C-alpha cells in the first residue's frame, strides 16, 4: 500500500500550483490537469489526517487565496468531505 500523503504535503502542492498559475508558468488547461493529478493522488494514497483537519486546511487555503471558491468546492466534493 502506498504511503499516505501528509496534510503539509497536500498544502504545499496546492501552494506550488497556485504560485505556478499566478506566475504564468502553465499553458491553457494545464492548471486543471495538475489539479486533477493532485486530487487523483490524494484519492489513491489518502491524506494522513482526519476530516476536520483536512477541511480546516482547505478553508485556510481558500481564505488565503491559494484556491478559489470553485476549487474549494471541487476539492470538498472530490475528496468526499461534503
Please give the model's pTM, rounded to 2 decimal places.
Answer: 0.90
Q: Which of 12, 14, 54 is nearest to 31 (CA)?
A: 14
Structure confidence at residue 5 as a pLDDT band (50, 70, 90) = very high
Q: In 10 A of CB 35, how many CB atoms?
A: 19
Task: Pick the more confident residue, 56 or 1.
Answer: 56
- What is the mean pLDDT of the segment spanning 55-71? 97
65 phi-psi bin (left φ>0, alpha ψ -120 to 50, beta other):
left
- What is the mean pLDDT of the segment spanning 46-65? 96
Q: Which residues pair with 5 in a beta bridge?
A: 47
Amino acid at each position: 500500500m502506498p504511503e499516505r500523503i501528509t496534510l503539509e504535503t497536500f498544502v504545499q502542492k496546492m501552494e506550488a500550483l497556485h504560485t505556478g498559475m499566478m506566475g504564468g508558468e502553465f499553458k491553457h488547461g494545464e492548471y486543471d490537469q495538475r489539479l486533477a493529478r493532485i486530487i487523483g493522488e490524494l484519492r489513491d494514497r489518502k491524506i494522513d489526517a482526519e476530516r476536520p483537519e483536512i477541511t480546516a486546511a482547505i478553508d485556510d487555503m481558500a481564505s488565503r487565496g491559494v484556491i478559489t471558491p470553485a476549487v474549494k468546492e471541487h476539492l470538498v466534493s472530490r475528496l468526499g468531505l461534503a
